Amino acid sequence: MELLVASGIGVLTAAGVYLLLRASTFPVMLGLTLISYAVNVFLFSMGRLAIGMPPLLREGGDLYADPLPQALVLTAIVISFAMTALVLALAVSLHAGSGSDHVDGPPPGGQP
């Protein structure tokens, strides 16, 4: 199971990095989203994997998944959402302002 998670994180990272390196803003944003998934799962998995042991205290229970990485990741999810929104707005305004959605702006002298 651990192998699945580790390789899953790797696939997400690889897909994210590839898209991050594209020239247009939209794939870059998709890439950032994928990378933030990968990072979140990675952080979460640092508490190790546990099945059927949610950290909700109950009578007689003594085995729980590690709640701390979960708490960290929960806020991280929301923050990365805010960052995505910010980048989105910047990308949209870049395109509107320059007529190009290339991350480097329109080529000097070339058509958009």
Partner 1 sequence: MSFISIVLLPLLCAALPWLASASQRRRAALFAAVAPALALALLLSYWPQARSGEVLLGGASWMPALGVNLSFMLDGLGFMFALLVLAIGLLVILYAHYYLGPEDDPRRFFSLLLVFMGSMLGVVLADNLLLLVLFWECTSLSSFLLIGFRQHRAESRRGARMALTVTGAGGVCLLAGALLVGRICGTYELSALLDQRELLQGHPAFPLVLALVLAAVFTKSAQFPFHFWLPHAMAAPTPVSAYLHSATLVKAGVFLLARLHPLLSGNDLWFYAVSGTGLLTLVFAAWVALFQHDLKGLLAYSTISHLGLITLLFGLDTPLAVVAGLFHIVNHATFKASLFMAAGIIDHETGTRDLRRINGLARHMPFTATLVAVAAAAMAGVPLLNGFLSKEMLLARAVSLDTGTLFDWAVPVFTTLAGAFAVAYSLRLFHDVFFNGDPVGLARDPHEPPRWMRVPVEVLVVLCVVVGLVPEAVVGPLLAAAAGGVLLGDVPQYGIHLWHGFNLPLALSAVALACGVALYVGLQRGYDLHRYRPGGLSGLRAFDGLTAAFARGATGTVAAVQNGSLQRYVAILVAITVLAAGIPALHARVEPGEAPLLPMSLPALAVWCALVAASIAVVVLHHRRLVALLATGAVGLLVSLVFLYFSAPDLALTQIAVEVVTVLLLVLALDHLPQHDRVERDRPRRWRDAGLAIAAGAGVSVLAWGALTRAPDSISEYFIRNSLPGGGGANVVNVIIVDFRGFDTLGEILVLAVAGLVLHALFDGVSLARAGRPASGWAADLHPLMLRLLAPFLLPFVLAIAVHLFIRGHNAPGGGFVAGLVASAGVLVLFMSHGRAEVSRALGALASAGASPGDTSLRLIAAGVLVAVATGIGAALIGYPFLTSAHGYLKLPVLGDIPLASAMGFDLGVLLVVCGATLLMLGVLWRLGETPAGPRPASIPEGR
Please state, in angstroms and rounded to a whole number, the distance separating the CA atoms of residues 19 and 37: 14
Q: Between residues 60 and 68, which has the closer beta carbon with respect to partner 1? A: 68
Please state, in angstroms and rounded to a whole number, the distance separating the CA atoms of residues 4 and 35: 17
Q: Which of 60, 83, 109, 111 binds partner 1 (CB under 8 A)?
A: 83
CB atoms within 10 A of CB 19: 19
* Residue 54 touching partner 1 (CB under 8 A): yes
Q: How far is the CB of 104 from partner 1 (least distance, A)?
A: 5
* Residue 26 touching partner 1 (CB under 8 A): yes
* Residue 106 touching partner 1 (CB under 8 A): no
* Residue 98 touching partner 1 (CB under 8 A): no
Q: Which of 9, 106, 109, 111 binds partner 1 (CB under 8 A)?
A: 9
Q: How far is the CB of 38 from partner 1 (least distance, A)?
A: 7
Question: Which residue is it, tokens 């059927």?
Answer: 52
Please state, in angstroms and rounded to a whole number, the distance separating the CA atoms of residues 101 and 66: 43
